[in-house]
Structure 1
Amino acid sequence: MATAGSVSELRVVLLGNSWCERSSVGNFILGAAVFNTKEEWDRCQRASGEREGNKVVVINTPDLLHDNISENRLTEHLKECVRLSHPGPHVFLLVLQPEHFTEEHKQRLCRVLERFSDQSFDHSLMLISPSREEGSGLMEQPPLQDMIRKCRYRYLKWKNLQLPELLTRLGQTAKENNGEPVSCEVFEDATSALPDDHQSQKPKEIRHPLTEAVKAAGM
C-alpha cells in the first residue's frame, strides 16, 4: 500500500524556452529517445515509462514562453497540457538557461504557471542548464534568484546530474505536496468539453521501459 505523500504515477510537465533541452530532459527521465530533440512540435506530447509497478509520465510542451504567442493559442496549449496530465501534474520541471533568463522571460514563465494554478510554484522544480559563459555570475542575476525563491529554493544543476538524483528530487517535490497533483480548476472542463473526434486525434502515448538506473532510484 502506498504511504502518505507517495504516488504510483508521477506526472511531470516540462516548461522552458528550449525545445531541444526540454526534449533531452524528457528522454533522460524516461531512459529512451521518445522526444525528437531537433524537430519542435506545435502541440503537447505525452510519454511514459514503467518501473516496478509505478509509472512516470512526462508531458513535453511547445514554446509557451514565446513573446508573440496569442492568448487564445496559449489557452489551447494549457488545456491540452491539463488534459494529458489529468487529474493534474505533480511537478512542473522548469528547464532554464541562465544566459537567456531575463526579467521578461521570468515574467512570462510566472504568467504561464499562474494560469495553471495558484499552487503551481509549490509544485515547481528548476533544472538549470550550464552557462556557456563560465564564471560569468549568471546564477546570481536577480531574475534567476527571484525564480529560485518563488520555487521554494527547489533547483538542480543539469551539469553532471545523475538520473537517480533527479528522480529523487521529483519524488520529493510530490511528497512535499502530500502526493496531491496541481488542481487546475480553471481548466476543469478541459477533458469533458472535448468532442469525441478530438479525443481520437490525441497523440498516441509513447511507452518505453525505464533503464535499470531509474528502477534503482526507487522513488
Structure 2
Amino acid sequence: MGINEESGKEKAGKLVKPTPLKKEKNIVPSSEAYALQTIEQDFPENEVRILLLGVDGSGKSSVAQLITGGEVLQTAKKSSKRISAYYPCIRNGRRYVVVDSPCLFHTRIAPKFVITEVNKLIGLTAPGPHICIFVVPGVKLSSEEKQAMSRIQNAFFPGAIDNSIIVLTKSDILNSDGTSIEDFKSNAAPVVQNIMTKCNNRVVQVDNVSGDKDTQRNQIFDMIQDVLQSNTDTFYTNDVYTLAQVNLRVHKQKAKEKYMSSDEGIPLLDKIKEVERVRPLNDTTRENETAAASQDMMETELERLKEQMLQVVCDQVRDGILQESITPFELNLRRLLTSGTKAIGKFLSFMWFVP
C-alpha cells in the first residue's frame, strides 16, 4: 500500500503516512476557546455528501444542476469542467453537498492531475460520501470509456455498493427508441451491466431534453432517501478518509476559531454561555415544565447555531481545498512523479482504491 506502518519513515519508492499538522496556540480568547471545547464534531450532522462519478460527457454537471435545482450552484468554485467542484443545497430542511468529479480514469489523463484531483475529492467528501452516484450515459460507450468505467467500478466496489445508485442520462435517446431500462441493461457493455447489478438495479432515468425536471429531481431524491434510510445515514469511508480527517481537523479548528471571533459567531458564543449557565439550574428543577421547556428550546437553538457554524467552516475548508491552499495529504508531488508509474499506482491504491 505504499505505507511503512511500523517505522513511519520514508523509503525509496514508498509513501509516508501523513503527519498531522501542528495546531497553533493562543489564537483566540479563552472564553471562545472554552466554547469551542463544547463543539466536538467536525462536520454538520444534518449534511449529506453526494459524490458524482462517471466518464467525460456522461452528464455529471447536468445531474448536479438537477439535484440542486440549479439556483445555488457555486459556479465560482469551478473554473473548468475538468476539475472538481462542489454544490451545496437545502432540501426539506436537510443540507446536501454535491461533489462533481472529473473523470480520472482515462489513460490519457496526466498523473499529476490525477494525484491532485483525487486529493481534492477526498477532502471535499471527507469523512466520506453518503451517496455515490454513477452517471451512466444511455448510449454506446467507446472502448476507452468502457475501460474508464471499469476502473471506476474497481475503485468503489465492493466498499461503496450499499451507498451507490445509478443515474442513467441521455434517456431521450432511449425514449425515442422505446427502450426500457431492462432492454438497455441487456444490451449494454458488460461493465455497465455489472455496475447496474451490483447497485441492485437502483436506477433513475434522466431526460434533459423533454423530461420534467421536478419529477426527475424527486425521483433521484426518493432513491437517495431510500439508500440513506437503509444505511441509517451511514456514509462510505475507509482508512484514507480517517487519515485525511486528521489533517483537515487542524484547518477546521482554525476556521472555527476565526468564526467564533467574527460577528457571525457572537450569537453562538452567547448561546453556549447561556446554556452552560442555565443547564445546571434546570437539571435540578426538571419537574418544572416551564423550566424544562425553556431549556429544551435553548438546547435546540444551540444545536441549530452549531450546525450553522459547521456548515460555514466545512465550506471554507472545501474552498481552500479547491484553491489548493489546503490539502488532506502533504505530499511531495515532484518526488512521486519522478518515481515512475509504479509509485503512482501505489499512491492511488493507498489514497482511495481500498475497500
| Percent identical | 22
In the TM superposition, what whole-angstrom CA distance separates every residue of 1:130-187 from its partner, at most 9, and x where no partner exists? 1636437544224232221021211111133522121111121222222110013234
Instruction: Supply the distance in 2 between the matched residues of 1:112 and 1:149 (Cα, whole angstroms).
Output: 15
Residue 27 of structure 1 pairs with residue 65 of structure 2: yes
Instruction: Supply the distance in 2 between the matched residues of 1:184 and 1:74 (Cα, whole angstroms).
Output: 20
Residue 59 of structure 1 pairs with residue 178 of structure 2: no
Residue 86 of structure 1 pairs with residue 126 of structure 2: yes
Q: How does 1:1-219 map to 2 (within 5 A)?
A: 8-18=46-56, 21-33=59-71, 34=73, 40-70=80-110, 73-101=113-141, 105-115=145-155, 118-129=158-169, 130=171, 132=173, 134-135=176-177, 138-140=184-186, 141-143=188-190, 144-159=192-207, 160=211, 161-193=215-247, 201-203=320-322
Q: Is the 8 A contact 2:49 2:98 kept in 1?
A: yes
Q: Is the 8 A contact 1:96 1:127 kept in 2?
A: yes
Instruction: Supply the distance in 2 between the matched residues of 1:19 and 1:56 (Cα, whole angstroms).
Output: 24
Q: TM-score, normalised by structure 2?
A: 0.47
Deviating beyond 6 angstroms after TM superposition, the runs of 4 or more aligned structure 1 residues are none
Instruction: Supply the distance in 2 between the matched residues of 1:100 and 1:42 (Cα, whole angstroms).
Output: 22
Q: Is the 8 A contact 1:44 1:61 kept in 2?
A: yes
In the TM superposition, what whole-angstrom CA distance separates every residue of 1:40-62 from its partner, at most 9, and x where no partner exists? 43431112112354101100111
Q: Is the 8 A contact 2:106 2:144 kept in 1?
A: no
- 3-state secondary structure, aligned to 1:59: strand
Higher share in strand: 1
2:290 aligns with none
Instruction: Supply the distance in 2 between the matched residues of 1:47 and 1:176 (Cα, whole angstroms).
Output: 25
Q: Which moved more, 1:135-144 or 1:147-156?
A: 135-144
In the TM superposition, what whole-angstrom CA distance separates every residue of 1:10-50 from its partner, at most 9, and x where no partner exists? 111111123572111111111125266x9743431112112
Residue correspondences, number: 195
- 3-state secondary structure, aligned to 1:202: helix
- In the TM superposition, residue 192 of structure 1 has moved relative to its aligned partner by 3.9
- 3-state secondary structure, aligned to 1:132: helix
- Residues 202, 114 of structure 1: CA spacing in aligned structure 2 closer, same or farther, 3 A cutoff? same
| Pairwise CA RMSD | 3.2
Aligned residue type for 1:132: I
- In the TM superposition, residue 92 of structure 1 has moved relative to its aligned partner by 0.8
Q: Which moved more, 1:142-151 or 1:103-112?
A: 103-112
Q: Is the 8 A contact 1:78 1:116 kept in 2?
A: no
Aligned residue type for 2:55: N
Query: Gapped runs of 5+ residues in structure 2?
Result: 1-44, 252-316, 324-355
Query: Gapped runs of 5+ residues in structure 1?
Result: 1-6, 205-219
Q: Which has the higher contact order (CA 8 A, sep 6+)?
A: 1
Instruction: Supply the distance in 2 between the matched residues of 1:39 and 1:186 (Cα, whole angstroms).
Output: 27
Q: Is the 8 A contact 2:50 2:99 kept in 1?
A: yes
Q: Which moved more, 1:52-61 or 1:108-117?
A: 108-117
Q: Is the 8 A contact 2:196 2:202 kept in 1?
A: yes
Higher share in helix: 2
Q: Is the 8 A contact 1:27 1:35 kept in 2?
A: no
Q: TM-score, normalised by structure 1?
A: 0.72
